Each structure stands twice: as structure tokens, then as C-alpha cells.
Amino acid sequence: MKKSSRFITILLGLCLAFALTACGGGGNSGGGGDDENPQSAPAKTTFTVGICQLVQHDALDAATKGFRQALTDELGDSVVFDEQNGSGDSATCATICNGFVSNNVDLIMANATPALQAAVAATDQIPILGTSVTEYGAALGIDNFSGVCGNNVSGTSDLPPLDEQAKMIKDLFPEAKTVGIIYGNSEVNSIYQKDVMTEELTKLGLTVTSYGFTDSNDVSLVAQTACEENDVLFIPTDNKAADNADAIDAVARAAKTPIIAGEEGICAKCGVATLTIDYYQLGYATGKMAVKILLGEADVSQMAIEYDPNPVKKYNKEIAELYGVTIPDDYIALN
């Protein structure tokens, strides 16, 4: 029995030694470990980025294009995109974002407010970057928003200086007394712009009335009422308005009521002029933020919302001539 016990003891010792040797050798076998830190993880070489764009129109398309280009410029083939479109439906955006979470993407880019809200509802772990979102405090229900979300969300804003847009209306239409604001009544950022513009226009001595519409079924009727009751119309950066800009234009032309638009995509279809940001550059800036997050160079919870510092005055030559509006020299004609 003594010899048998000694043999078992020796055998167990040899097994333990072999196991320790195997574990120690794992750090030098290409598994990403090293002598100092045998459990260190290998650097990730491929990233999957989910893109949820609310709807297809010029501004959002440009932002997505800029975002992709920035990531491609920095990361090349090491980034894989899963780009999907919500077709203007919040429920579809929710399905898309839940799919991104199930697939464990490395980052979600949410293009427009409903897409951002869907992404936030889907995950509080995966980094989320918004773009084409006007005001993050309003979009996410953050009171006294400081410019940093403080969670897994950051991004870029497409909010132009609303006080300057109000002044544009006064400068281009000095005889106007009344302004109607047309907006999609389900978009919180449009409501935010409507409220701020009402304050700014009122300061300039103008009477302001707001006209919310739901979708293509009522937009023409709402636009008709707005045209009948006002000298000038204002349309904020609004996805539903952008999607229905042709219908609004048809009504405004018939009524001979000019429109100032919140961004150039809407202006190109129905506006006289706009103070607009560059959505491609906005998306590109969002892409640069994404690169820092993916490479571990920045913490999304500490990244401030970024804004376009150089909005540009642009005008629609054909529509300006239609209404006989004299455009100052510091405006650029839309292509």
C-alpha cells in the first residue's frame, strides 16, 4: 500500500507539472498572450458597424455617405457595415436596432431622431452615435441637457443657428407680418425647432402660427391652410417635411406663398433660401468619432455632441425668381 501511495503521489505531481507547462506555453502560441500578461486579449482587427437610417432623402443619404467614408478612410477593409433603412417607420427602426444588438455589432450609427430613439431603447451597452439629430436633450428626454449624454450615446447635431434663420426671414421678406411654421407633429426635434423659432420670430415683431401635419394624407390640406393665413412659411429640419416637400411646394406655388427652409434638401424642392449645414461633413465628423471609439481612444459616455461650425446661406434660384425675391450677394446658389 505504501508503494502504491507513493506511485500515485508521483503521478499526480507529473500531471500537475504538465498542466502548468501547457498553460504557460499558451501565451507564446499566437493566442494573444505574453510573458508579462499571459491573459491579455488580442487587439480586434475587424469591426462591424450597424447603420440605421430613418428614411431615404438627400440630407440623410449625405450624412450616411460621409460617415462611411470617414470610417473607410481610417480603417479601410477592417470595418464591415450593416446598413439598413427604416422607410420612415419607427417600428421598423426598432426591429433593425434590435437585430444589431442580437448580432453584437461593435457600434450603432443612428441617422435621424427616431432611429436614435430606437437604438437607445435597444441597448445601453453598445456605443451609439447619432447624426442628423437636432437636439439630443429633446430627443432623449434629458432635462437641462449639458451637451454630454453621459451614457452609451453621443453624436452630431444638424441644428443650425435658429436666431439667424429667423433673421433671414426678416431680411428677405421685410414686408411680411405673419409666418407659418409647418412641421411633422410626431418629431420631437421639429417641435423643439418650432418652439425656438416662434420665440425668435416674435422678438422680430412677427406673428407666428404653427401647423403640424401627420403624413402625406394631410400635408397638402395643412399646407393650404398655412399658405392662406400667412405671408411666409418656415419649414424646420424635419424628415416628414423633407419626404413631403414636393406636395408642399405644389400648394405654396399655387398660393404664391414663399418658403424658408431649415436645410438645403428641403430648400431644393420647395424653398427660396436656407441657412444650412453640410450633411456629408456632419456624417464625416460622426465617422471620425466612431473611429476613436472603436480603437479605444475615446469613451462615448464622455464625448460631447458636435455641431457644424460653418452653416452656409444658400438659395434656390428658380424659386427665388418665381417669387421675385432679391437675394443678397453672400448667398450661394443651390446646384
Q: For residues 210 and 324, state if they share a domain.
A: yes
Number of structural domains (the chain) is 2
Helix, strand and coil percent figures for the chain, each rounded to 5: 50, 20, 35
Q: Could you tell me if residue 24 is inside a domain?
A: no
Q: Are residues 148 and 175 in the same domain?
A: no
Contact 239, 54 (CB under 8 A): yes
Beta strands 232-235 and 207-213: pairing type? unpaired
Q: What is the pTM of this model?
A: 0.77
Q: Are residues 209 and 298 in the same domain?
A: no
Which CATH number do you get for residue 154?
3.40.50.2300
The answer as to whether 26 is a domain residue is no
Could you read off the pLDDT of 241-251 as tens digits, one per residue?
A: 999 999 999 99
Has residue 21 been placed in a domain?
A: no
pLDDT on residue 43: 60
Same structural domain for residues 153 and 169? no
Q: Which domain holds residue 271?
A: 162-276+312-333
Would you say residue 22 has pLDDT above 60? no
How remote is the C-alpha of 26 from its chain's centroid?
44
Listed range (9-18, 43-52, 78-87, 90-99) with the worst mean pLDDT:
9-18
How far, rounded to the nearest angstrom, does the alpha carbon of residue 1 sit from its chain's CA centroid? Answer: 77
Residues 268 and 176 in one domain: yes
21, with CB counted inside 10 A (0-12, 13-18, 19+), is: exposed
Task: Give the pLDDT of residue 186.
Answer: 87
Query: What is the mean pLDDT of the segment spanning 59-84?
Result: 97
**For 240-294, how does the pLDDT look when each residue is reduced to its tens digit (9 = 90+)?**
999 999 999 999 999 999 999 999 999 999 999 999 999 999 999 999 999 999 9
Q: Is 82 helix (H, G, I), strand (E, B) or coil?
A: strand
Domain presence at residue 107: yes
- In this structure, the answer to whether residues 151 and 243 fall within a common structural domain is no
For residue range 96-141, list pLDDT tens digits in order.
999 999 999 999 999 999 999 999 999 999 999 999 999 999 999 9
The C-alpha cell at 61 is 443619404
Residue 15 lies in a domain: no
What is the pairing mode between strands 312-315 and 273-276? antiparallel
